[in-house]
Amino acid sequence: MDKSINHNLPLIMHIDLNSCFATIEQQANPLLRGKAIAIAAYDSPGGCIVSPSIEAKTLGITVGTTVKQARLIKPDIIILLPDPDKYRHVNHQFNRIFSSYTPCVTPLSVDESVLDFTHMPNLNQSLIGIGKDIKLRFKKEIGEWISCSIGIGPNRFLAKLAANLKKPDGLDLIDFRNLKTIYQKVKLTDLNGINHRFEARLNAQAIYTPMDFFNANINTLEKQVFKSICGKYWYFRLRGWEVDDIALRRQSFGQTYSLGKKTKDKPILLAILMKLCEKMGRRLRTSNYQAKGIWLSLLYDDYSYWHKSHTFSSYFFTTQDLYQKSILIFNSQPQPKVVKRISVSCFNLSKQDQACQLSLWQDKQNRQISLSHSLDKLNDKFGEFSVIWATMINTDNLAIDRISFGKN
């Protein structure tokens, strides 16, 4: 028996919704089912596909394919623009189902979650059974066209690998009994976290397969391959030990927007920047953080790139403060050009102090804080941008709402 391998029960479940946005659209509209469709940021030829349907994937249309390229592959492919409210609604339904099985649910993105059953000693059902039950509930409570891939393992890494084995609609388990067998069937780049750059680094040390990777000793991985403690983490990760369930301190909040119609018109760019600051500010305040720094970057139409950051003397978190400080940086561009993409983020974070209570004597800052929280509550209740700052009037078609696959 290989004592370096984790022999504990596999109690981590990774759930991945298949072709998330496209599947949700097919569920909502039966006429789209069975057809090659794709959700794209824009439906213009250069628009980037963010979610191809399962049918489109079988034709070689992947995330990142442009609309033009997709039409060359499948001339009659149906291109749809994102419907974020619809996707968020379904995501809430997923999480409601997950939380009925365990309180330890970690959303990784809009289409992926990890369920941890480690601290549930009275679990009276196998995780394979729970996985089958979740699949049935998806179809019963969300829709018959909704499917997901589920992986079970002793750590997050192996649970995700198991979820990727038989997409779409798979259900697999990896533990100490079949771990080596699985490694003999997959490629290095099938391992989450190993891209082609890391594959080349492994190949340079005569590691060509996951089994070579598994058999490499800890010193080789730490001193020669990764040249850092990452090598040690990989040694244990490959053997089923948990090294990824780490609560890291949040470093920043940010928003990025690619303009459908490129422009150098300053009022339009500032209106977009205001909407991005509002989205960023809501996330900042919801997480109970405040910031001291602002970073702004602009990708121009000629593909040149400009960015600048500044750390201020005091903390801030209202939308107006974020916006005003972003304008200071925006105005420092050496040469205004036609802008293709805007990114803004706030950094140097700290948890907010206790919320200030309303009083007859509160100062201007406290009034702004109270106003920001009140606006956030109204927008939470009635929908994004139901109540807006005057600066955002007539900006409905600017910085259109998007939803990403990444963590919030």
The per-residue pLDDT for range 245-270, each reduced to its tens digit, is 765 567 889 999 888 889 999 999 99
Predicted local confidence at residue 355, as pLDDT? 40
Statement: residue 407 has pLDDT above 50: no
Average pLDDT, the chain: 86
Q: What is the pLDDT of residues 341-360, one digit of tens each?
A: 999 999 999 887 544 333 33
User: What CATH class has 1-177?
Assistant: alpha beta
Q: Quick one: the chain helix, strand, coil %, rounded to 5?
A: 40, 20, 40
Predicted local confidence at residue 109, as pLDDT? 84
Query: What is the spatial distance between Cα 188 and Cα 194, in angstroms, rounded to a whole number?
Result: 7
DSSP 3-state of 237: helix
117-120's contacts with Cβ under 8 Å and 24+ in sequence apart are 117/11, 117/12, 117/13, 118/11, 118/12, 120/11
CB-based contacts of 215, cutoff 8 Å, min separation 6: none
Selected residue with higher pLDDT from 291 and 382 = 291
Predicted local confidence at residue 373, as pLDDT? 59
Stated pTM of the model:
0.69
> Domain 252-392 carries which CATH code?
3.30.1490.100
Beta strands, E only, 248-338: 252-263, 289-300, 305-316
Query: What is the spatial distance between Cα 207 and Cα 99, in angstroms, rounded to a whole number?
Result: 40
Selected residue with higher pLDDT from 7 and 103 = 7
Statement: residue 401 has pLDDT above 80: no
Provide the Cα torsion 394, 399, 405, 408; round to 10°. Answer: -70
Which pLDDT band holds residue 361 (cuts at 50, 70, 90)? very low
Which pLDDT band holds residue 239 (cuts at 50, 70, 90)? very high
H/E run at residue 234? helix 230-238
Query: What is the spatial distance between Cα 6 and Cα 241, in angstroms, rounded to a whole number?
Result: 6
Q: What is the pLDDT of residues 41-88, one digit of tens each?
A: 888 898 899 999 999 999 999 999 999 999 999 999 999 999 988 998
